[in-house]
Structures are given as C-alpha cells and as structure tokens.
Copies of this chain bind each other. A is one copy, B any other.
Amino acid sequence: MTEPDDPRVGDLAEAAILRTILDAVGSATEAEVGPGDDAAVLRAPDGRVVATTDTLVHGPDFRLAWSSGTDLGWKAAAVNLADVAAMGARPTALLVALAMPGDTRLSFVRGLAQGLAAACATLAPGSAVIGGDLTISSTLTIAVTALGSLEGRPPVLRSGARPGDLVALAGDAGVAARGIDLLFARFTDASGPVRVDRSGLDADDLAALEAQLRPAPPIDLGVEAAAAGATAMMDVSDGLALDATRLADASGVSLALRTNGVGGDPEWAIDGGEDHALLATFPAGSPPPGGFRVIGEVLARGAHPLLLDGEPRAPRGWDPYRDWDNGRG
C-alpha cells in the first residue's frame, strides 16, 4: 500500500531519508552524543561495553510480502538485544546500517525506524538507536550492532556450565519456527510469498506468526539470570538442540534435557530457531529466577554432548549457507 505522497528513497537525498529515521528513533538514556556526528558516544558506567552484531537480509532472512517495515525494524532490534541479554547485560544502544534499493518507499523506512524504536522501548527500556549508516543496494539489508552494560557483573559466557548445574529456559521455544512453517504453507502461491490474510487464523496460528515476525525475547531475564548466579547462558537462535550442543561443547560438559519441560510442541521446540529464548545453567543450590523453567541438568562430558529424554540427539538447525533456497518475494 503506497501513500499518495510516498517518495522512493532513490528520488531523495540521503539527508532527507536520515531525517525521517531520526524523527522516529528516540534517544538512549546512556547516550552522551547521539546521531549526527562522525560517531556516537555512549556511557559505559562500569568501564566495559558488551557488543554484538546481527544482520537481516532480504531473501534468506525475511520476505517483504510477509514482513512490514515495522516488523523488520522490530525483529532486527530484538535479535540483537537478545544477544546482549544472553551475556547477562542490559542493552543500552543500537547502531543500524541500512542498505536499501532505490525503489524502497519512504513510508517503509519510517516504519522500519518505528519498529526499531518500539522494540527498544518495549524490550529494553532506555535503549535506542544512537547511530547508523545509509547506503543504496540491490538487496535490502539491515545490519544492527547492539551495545550493553554489565553493570559491574561478570559476563555470563557459554563456557561456564558445570556438572550438577540445572539447565533452564526462559521464553518461547519453537513458536517462531511454527510461524515460518505456517507462512510457507499458507501464504505462498506459484509466484512465491503472498500477503498474509490473518482473518482465517486461530489464536495459536496468530501467536506463531507474531513470534516469527516480531519476536519478543525475555530481554530483562538476562540480567536477572546473571544476578541469580547463572553459570552459562546463550540465546536460542538456531534451535534448542543445536544451541544446547554449542553450550555443552563450549563448557566441556553434556546436557541432559527433558522435552516435556521445554513447552509448546516438542517437534518444533527442539530444532526450531528464531525465538531467541534464553538457555542458562544455574548451580543446583541457586534456583533460577521467575520466568525460567528447569528443563534438565548438566552432566560430566560423556560420549554425546546432548541427551534428550535420555537419548543422544544430533542437532539440526538453520544454516544460511546450507539452507537458503535463493527465494525472495
């Protein structure tokens, strides 16, 4: 849907596009210098900054028939905020490198900036976009860097799990994966992806779509887990089996998980990515904070890094270089 006065970014100067974005993104509590200079200056009160980057690319990561600009801005923020949270840190700021085709509409860019701002305000209050870069590209690409503060705590690494620890999970598992399956099954035709008509969807389907298009990881629980003594943590972006195996490998342990504790449909939860749940381990004597559910325990390293309901389980998750089918839409 094109607004009557909705120019293509290719017909505008960079400064005009930038103004539209900066009008929407708000300001970060910890920003000493915000957007507009050669660089931003962000306060890092404990003398350290957590930093991570993650990109959404048109084709492998999203389809424009399914995602609005606002959806994409939200998701690009959320997946990066989750990586900061997974260190036990509080996200403080984002930088956004946006590469767009010339025929992108300004209304789309405005929606994207609004989505970034909404995800920051909702999931990590006080954080906001403090800088960025605009360029033209044949492929719409949103590369976000998120920064965060550990507030004096040590970072929670993937490598700290010890035999005897409890394994706990916070946030959805497999819901976003059910959402992408639903999109491919119900909202494609011979030409590829088509616009989503939500009128025929039940509550579960709508929740799955929402989890895929606008994931809401439990960002605040990252800090809570760290404060409660989490020994290891990571965000589940590529499926519980694959990410749990990564945590086990980094820590030199094995993990024994019970699928009935994971929540939702185990079929989707085990190999389904993109929910950005937090997977963490806690000493047996330190109960996980509210919002985490215990799903297993840490064992001494055995022949298999991961046991599901007592059985070895080889992971299979999304690998962009193996799994993208070259489709767009």
Contacts and interface: CB of A to CB of B under 8 A. Distances in A.
A321 B53 contact: no
A194 B96 CA distance: 33
Contacts of A234: 37-38
Contact of A322 (B13, B134, B146, B320): B13
B155 A324 contact: no
Contacts of A37: 87, 155, 157-159, 234, 250
Q: When A and B form their complex, which 8 residue pairs have the shortest distance between CB atoms, in order from nearest?
A: A39-B52, A143-B143, A44-B44, A139-B139, A38-B86, A97-B143, A145-B145, A53-B95
Interface of A: 9-14, 17, 32-33, 36-55, 57, 59-61, 83-84, 86-87, 89, 93, 95-97, 99, 102, 130-139, 141, 143, 145-148, 150, 155, 157-159, 233-235, 250, 319-322, 324
Contact of A99 (B55, B102, B136): B55
Contacts of A59: 136-138
Contacts of A60: 135-137
Copies of this chain assembled into the complex: 2
A39 B42 CA distance: 17
Contacts of A43: 47-48
Contacts of A17: 321
A51 B39 contact: yes
Given A38-B86, A40-B51, A83-B38, A141 B99 contact: yes
B38 A52 contact: yes
Given A135-B320, A157-B37, A53 B83 contact: no
Contacts of A150: 41
B53 A97 contact: yes
Contacts of A46: 47
B136 A139 contact: no
Given A155-B33, A322-B13, A135 B40 contact: no
Contact of A97 (B32, B55, B148): B55
A97 B54 CA distance: 7
A92 to B, nearest CB: 10
Contact of A135 (B48, B61, B138, B157): B61
A55 B137 CA distance: 10
B33 A86 contact: no
Contact of A49 (B41, B146, B233): B41
Contacts of A143: 53, 55, 97, 99, 133, 141, 143
